[in-house]
Amino acid sequence: MPIDMTDPTTITGEMPIGARRVRGEAGCFRALDPATGAMLEPAFGCATEADVARACESAHAAFDAYRRTPPGIRATFLETIAANMLALGDVLIERACAETGLPRARIESERGRTVAQLRLFAARAREGDGIDARIDGALPERKPLPRVDIRMQRIPLGPVAVFGASNFPLAFSVAGGDTASALAAGCPVVVKAHAAHPGISELVGRAVQAAVLANGLPEGVFSLLFDDGFAAGAALVAHPAIKAVGFTGSRRGGVALMKIAAARAEPIPVYAEMSSVNPVFLLPAALAARGKALATGFVESLTLGVGQLCTNPGVVLAVAGVAFEQFKDTAAALLAARHAGVMLTPGIAAAYASGVERLHEHPAVRAAGRGEAEGAAAGSRAQAALYAVDADALLADASLGEEVFGPCSLLVACRDLAQMREVAERLEGQLTATLHFDAADHDAAQTLLPVLERKAGRIVGNGWPTGVEVCDAMVHGGPFPATSDGRSTSVGTAAIERFLRPVCYQNLPQRLLPDALHDANPLGLPRRVDGVPTQAPIK
Ligand code: NAP
């Protein structure tokens, strides 16, 4: 079928691949409403290997033209995607609620965040963010050897494979942060939709497809693939046209994709955001002064989105004593009133139940609190859980520090501040580390900070890790296993840098140089010329 003339709000089960709509023929699946267990229409066709190849080859064919589009065109393209998403109106919101079980208010705010994110990346694309133009002019008179003209810019890597996340059906999915940053960098994108929400993936995918065509861009700039198994995703990462991968999901899934990428004839970078327990350190003076308020904030953060946030506070550490006991009792009492919430998929609910069971059965772990049990036995609902353990046991068995995805947290009682630091030293890489402190805790915080800088991508002071602002200074990353590459971020405008690489032009005449490096600076970029930051043309 040529250009897609379907009403943009009708879900067809077909994949937008380039300018076409394609029905995958490698089997089919339906979405499930996790709140009711009902299957949702229509059926979605799974991508065949030929569909994957067509999407990747089309992305490759589009790459050279797309990467040369002026920054302003790329920015308008991202803004058109945002406008097209908004134009989907209630159809998108209602389908998202049905496919995820998330409440309407949460989906609406996530749409707002996704649209704002696209616009922010548009603004940075317009400014040429990430191009990082540098010019070191020729020094023909230099002794003992002259220097030729040397110039550098960053160029996009090539087509990027993006895997939609289950827990952010809009903000980390088809037109989410990975896609927006890759498109802003100048990379075509092929998305593998998450099997839990194919309907909204199709709606948003067609919104992106329409934006590609409306802005006169090559059709291969964007494609979307469906599959409810791993074949299409694996083939996508293995395809030679793909030059980088963006992923948010499980450690097992992320590591599997890293292995496929590393085993290729040409290995490629994988930016996978995987697992994190986001340790929270309650320092003594803060805990003594405001334990009750801290317990309230903790329970709010723990149960937000039924705990299905990558920044969920999964481990809380404090020095053992009366204040920590009171914190535990207050948190347990608050948690007891929390309803069992609908989880995103039966698989995630089952993984949560077995993670809680693992803690429950551990001989060193004490049950400290549960949420309301009502409804928890039915389908995909999760009953919140709080456990307690001594730091000695955690130090003896690192598996206690593994993520249980959902509203479950482990309170860790440390002998003293030195043991708290020892636990921090032994933690795996984290997306966040949080410190609660008063003025009297500053010395203790200062002792922990160098350790936390090595462990986490974001250090939070007197707040909670959930809620990730999309801005220039945000880092949503961290050492393995928080991510596969701790040098980058998947949220915030620095995410663009993941999809660029530097190219140096030595001794090329003006005519052969890219626009970013012409003496006249026709793009008006900020550049470093002979060591000096400037936007001025070279005379
Ligand atoms: P997932 O199983 O890792 O799946 C994420 C995406 O990757 C899906 O599109 C999935 O395909 C694909 N995939 C997974 N393994 C693959 C493989 N071996 N080869 C090719 N493709 C693969 O994550 P999920 O479904 O969202 O949730 C499962 C668990 O992930 C949760 O219980 C939780 O522990 C964790 N999780 C973590 C975060 C986080 O932010 N850190 C977020 C969400 C989930 P299909 O759609 O076909 O399955």
Is any atom of ligand 1 closer than 6 Å to the C-beta of 248? Answer: yes
Contact between 37 and 14 (Cβ < 8 Å): no
Q: Please tell me the residue having the least CA distance from ligand 1 atom 30.
A: 250
- Residue spans per domain, the chain: 15-31+38-101+157-274+489-497, 280-461
Q: Return the ligand 1 atom nearest residue 253 CA.
A: 15
Q: Return the ligand 1 atom nearest residue 229 CA.
A: 47
| Answer CATH for 280-461 from 3.40.367.20, 1.20.210.10, 1.10.1740.10, 3.40.309.10 | 3.40.309.10
The helix/strand/coil state of 147 is: strand
Is any atom of ligand 1 closer than 6 Å to the C-beta of 245? Answer: no
Flag whether the pTM goes above 0.85.
Answer: yes
Q: Return the ligand 1 atom nearest residue 348 CA.
A: 32
Q: Please tell me the residue having the least CA distance from ligand 1 atom 44.
A: 249
CA of 77 to the centre of ligand 1 (A): 29
CA of 253 to the centre of ligand 1 (A): 5
Residue type, 498: R
Q: Return the ligand 1 atom nearest residue 231 CA.
A: 20
**What pLDDT shows up at residue 380?**
82
Structure tokens at 100: 């995820």
CA of 36 to the centre of ligand 1 (A): 22
Is any atom of ligand 1 closer than 6 Å to the C-beta of 55? Answer: no
The helix/strand/coil state of 281 is: strand
**What pLDDT shows up at residue 4?**
54
Backbone angle region of 379, left / alpha / beta, with phi > 0 → left and psi within -120 to 50 → alpha:
left
User: β-pairing, 15-17 with 20-22?
Assistant: antiparallel
**What pLDDT shows up at residue 5?**
55
Give start and end residues of each alpha helix (H) in 427-537: 442-455
Is any atom of ligand 1 closer than 6 Å to the C-beta of 165? Answer: yes
Contact between 154 and 502 (Cβ < 8 Å): yes
Structure tokens at 379: 């389908």
Distance, CA of 199 to CA of 40 (rounded, Å): 9
CA of 497 to the centre of ligand 1 (A): 24
Is any atom of ligand 1 closer than 6 Å to the C-beta of 234? Answer: yes
Is any atom of ligand 1 closer than 6 Å to the C-beta of 227? Answer: yes
Closest-CA residue to 27 (of 7, 56, 3, 51):
51
Residue type, 267: P
Distance, CA of 34 to CA of 17 (rounded, Å): 28
* 318 HSE (CA, 13 A, CB side): 25
Name the DSSP class of 478.
-
CA of 249 to the centre of ligand 1 (A): 4
Contact between 232 and 192 (Cβ < 8 Å): yes
Of 28, 29, 163, 166, which is best to mutate to test ligand 1, by the most ligand atoms within 8 angstroms of its C-beta? 166
Residue 468: Cβ-neighbour burial (10 angstroms; 0-12, 13-18, 19+): buried
Is any atom of ligand 1 closer than 6 Å to the C-beta of 484? Answer: no
Is any atom of ligand 1 closer than 6 Å to the C-beta of 420? Answer: no
Is any atom of ligand 1 closer than 6 Å to the C-beta of 364? Answer: no
Of 32, 178, 245, 250, which is best to mutate to test ligand 1, by the most ligand atoms within 8 angstroms of its C-beta? 250
Q: Return the ligand 1 atom nearest residue 276 CA.
A: 41
DSSP bridge pairs for 518? none
Is any atom of ligand 1 closer than 6 Å to the C-beta of 228? Answer: yes
Same fold, 15-31+38-101+157-274+489-497 and 280-461: no
Distance, CA of 532 to CA of 506 (rounded, Å): 19
Catalytic residues: 273, 310
Residue 130: Cβ-neighbour burial (10 angstroms; 0-12, 13-18, 19+): buried
CA of 165 to the centre of ligand 1 (A): 7
CA of 250 to the centre of ligand 1 (A): 5
* 412 HSE (CA, 13 A, CB side): 33
How many C-beta atoms surround the C-beta of residue 473 within 10 A? 10
**What pLDDT shows up at residue 378?**
60
Q: Return the ligand 1 atom nearest residue 431 CA.
A: 41
Residue-by-residue pLDDT tens, the chain, 539 positions: 445 556 888 999 999 999 999 999 999 999 999 999 999 999 999 999 999 999 999 999 999 999 999 999 999 999 999 999 999 999 999 999 999 999 999 999 999 999 999 999 999 999 998 999 999 999 999 999 999 999 999 999 999 999 999 999 999 999 999 999 999 999 999 999 999 999 999 999 999 999 999 999 999 999 999 999 999 999 999 999 999 999 999 999 999 999 999 999 999 999 999 999 999 999 999 999 999 999 999 999 999 999 999 999 999 999 999 999 999 999 999 999 999 999 999 999 999 999 999 999 999 999 999 999 876 656 689 999 999 999 999 999 999 999 999 999 999 999 999 999 999 999 999 999 999 999 999 999 999 999 999 999 999 999 999 999 999 999 999 999 999 999 999 999 999 999 999 999 999 999 999 999 999 999 999 999 999 999 999 99
- The residue written with tokens 């040429």 in the block is 128
Q: Please tell me the residue having the least CA distance from ligand 1 atom 40.
A: 310
Closest-CA residue to 229 (of 178, 264, 194):
194
Backbone angle region of 31, left / alpha / beta, with phi > 0 → left and psi within -120 to 50 → alpha:
beta
Contact between 447 and 419 (Cβ < 8 Å): no
Is any atom of ligand 1 closer than 6 Å to the C-beta of 231? Answer: no
CA of 393 to the centre of ligand 1 (A): 30
The helix/strand/coil state of 242 is: coil
| Backbone phi, psi, residue 240, to 5° | -60, -25
| Answer CATH for 15-31+38-101+157-274+489-497 from 3.40.50.300, 3.30.530.20, 3.40.605.10, 3.40.50.11540 | 3.40.605.10
CA of 261 to the centre of ligand 1 (A): 17
Contacts by 391-395, CB closer than 8 A, 24 or more apart = 391/317, 391/415, 391/419, 391/420, 391/422, 391/423, 393/364, 393/365, 394/423, 394/426, 395/422, 395/423, 395/426
Is any atom of ligand 1 closer than 6 Å to the C-beta of 69? Answer: no
